[in-house]
């Protein structure tokens, strides 16, 4: 028996992985970046095969990792975590720099960055494991790095379906991974709570209001009202 709740006891960080192959550049959010050895300095990520960024990394043979700080805004995380680089320029409104190989990496709300030269890959089914040697790195700030727990518990972040730690619809609920409980029909009629809510079709965020303003944007992934669906409570 595998109790998936056991995985919630593991500690993760939150990172933006970027890569460039030719004129194509891409980036996404992962929580799987990890140091493998210190001599030589090696690190790895596990990333969904369907991510556009994955293909760019494999073509380029190297990638960048930016370690997000605790003060990283949800707009930045949503930009890289809940959209695809196939049709979205994630770099246009983001502060970046180029490493020695010309790969862009995120510099705003970031603690450090690493450039990794790919040495080995392994097929993991839905994901691919990519391990390589760290050939460039530097500290960018003295801020506290963001943990995945902080992202969920303090910032109210959601887990996208392509993430390694995604468990299903329950993951878009409470910070501890349990489903979010909306107001019951009784409470809605007794205390004036909304009878309807709106769910983001991109990231799963739920707004408990009867109607969304026309200019509403998702606080998690930044999409507009048109990407929300109304659900009855």
Q: 145 and 36 in one domain?
A: yes
**138 domain-assigned:** yes
What value does the mean pLDDT take over residues 69-73?
93
| Chain center to CA of 201 | 16
pLDDT given at position 171: 45
CATH number at 122 reads 2.30.110.10
What value does the mean pLDDT take over residues 108-130?
97
Helices (H), the chain: 52-60, 74-81, 148-153, 185-191
Could you report the per-residue pLDDT of 174-231, keeping only the tens digit for each?
333 333 333 333 334 445 566 788 888 777 778 888 889 999 988 878 888 888 888 8
What is the rounded distance in angstroms from the CA atom of residue 129 to the CA atom of residue 135? Answer: 19
**171 domain-assigned:** no
CATH number at 220 reads 2.20.28.10
pLDDT band at 120 (very low <50, low <70, confident <90, very high): very high
pLDDT given at position 223: 81
Q: 187 and 149 in one domain?
A: no
- Of 24-33, 56-65, 190-199, least confident by mean pLDDT is 190-199
Q: 222 and 144 in one domain?
A: no
Number of helices (H) and strands (E) in the chain: give both, helices first. 4, 12
Q: By the 8 A CB rule, do 69 and 146 touch?
A: yes
Of residues 88 and 122, more confidence is placed in 122
**203 domain-assigned:** yes
**161 domain-assigned:** no
What is the rounded distance in angstroms from the CA atom of residue 65 to the CA atom of residue 27? Answer: 9
What is the rounded distance in angstroms from the CA atom of residue 150 to the CA atom of residue 175? Answer: 9
Of residues 60, 19, 70, 65, the one with CA closest to residue 42: 65
**167 domain-assigned:** no
Of residues 30 and 174, more confidence is placed in 30
Q: By the 8 A CB rule, do 70 and 144 touch?
A: yes
Q: 192 and 136 in one domain?
A: no
What is the rounded distance in angstroms from the CA atom of residue 109 to the CA atom of residue 53? Answer: 21
Please tell me whether the overall predicted TM-score, pTM, comes out greater than 0.85 for this model: no
**162 domain-assigned:** no
Q: Is 113 exposed, middle or buried (0-12, 13-18, 19+ CB in 10 A)?
A: buried
Q: 199 and 113 in one domain?
A: no
Percent of the chain topping pLDDT 70: 84
What value does the mean pLDDT take over residues 10-31?
95
* Mean pLDDT rounded to a whole number for the chain: 84
pLDDT given at position 80: 93
Of residues 196, 200, 197, 207, the one with CA closest to residue 223: 200
Q: 130 and 220 in one domain?
A: no
**175 domain-assigned:** no
What value does the mean pLDDT take over residues 18-25?
97
pLDDT at residue 162 tops 80: no
Query: End of a domain among 134, 153, 172?
Result: 153
**222 domain-assigned:** yes
**Cis, peptide link before residue 229, omega less than 30° from 0:** no
Domain range spanning residue 80?
4-153
Count of domains forming the chain: 2
What is the rounded distance in angstroms from the CA atom of residue 105 to the CA atom of residue 27? Answer: 9
What is the rounded distance in angstroms from the CA atom of residue 143 to the CA atom of residue 151? Answer: 15
């Amino acid at each position: 028996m595998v109790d998936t709740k056991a995985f919630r006891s593991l500690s993760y960080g939150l990172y933006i992985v970027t890569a460039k192959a030719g004129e194509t550049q891409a980036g996404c959010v992962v929580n799987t970046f990890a140091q493998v050895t210190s001599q030589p300095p090696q690190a790895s990520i596990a990333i969904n095969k369907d991510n556009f960024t994955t293909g760019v990394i494999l073509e380029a043979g190297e990638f960048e990792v930016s370690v997000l700080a605790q003060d990283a805004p949800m707009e930045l995380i949503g930009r890289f975590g809940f959209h695809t680089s196939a049709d979205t320029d994630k770099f246009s409104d983001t502060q970046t720099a180029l490493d020695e190989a010309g790969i862009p990496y995120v510099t705003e709300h970031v603690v450090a960055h690493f450039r990794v030269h790919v040495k080995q890959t392994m097929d993991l089914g839905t994901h691919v494991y990519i391990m390589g040697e760290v050939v460039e790195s530097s500290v960018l700030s003295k801020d506290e790095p963001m943990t995945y727990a902080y992202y969920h518990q303090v910032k109210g972040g959601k887990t996208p379906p392509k993430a390694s730690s995604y468990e299903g619809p329950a993951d878009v609920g409470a910070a501890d991974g349990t489903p979010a409980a909306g107001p019951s029909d009784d409470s809605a009629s007794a205390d004036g709570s909304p009878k309807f809510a709106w769910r983001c079709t991109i990231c799963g965020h739920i707004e408990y209001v009867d109607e969304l303003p026309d200019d509403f944007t998702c606080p998690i992934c930044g999409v507009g009202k048109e990407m929300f669906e109304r659900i009855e409570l």
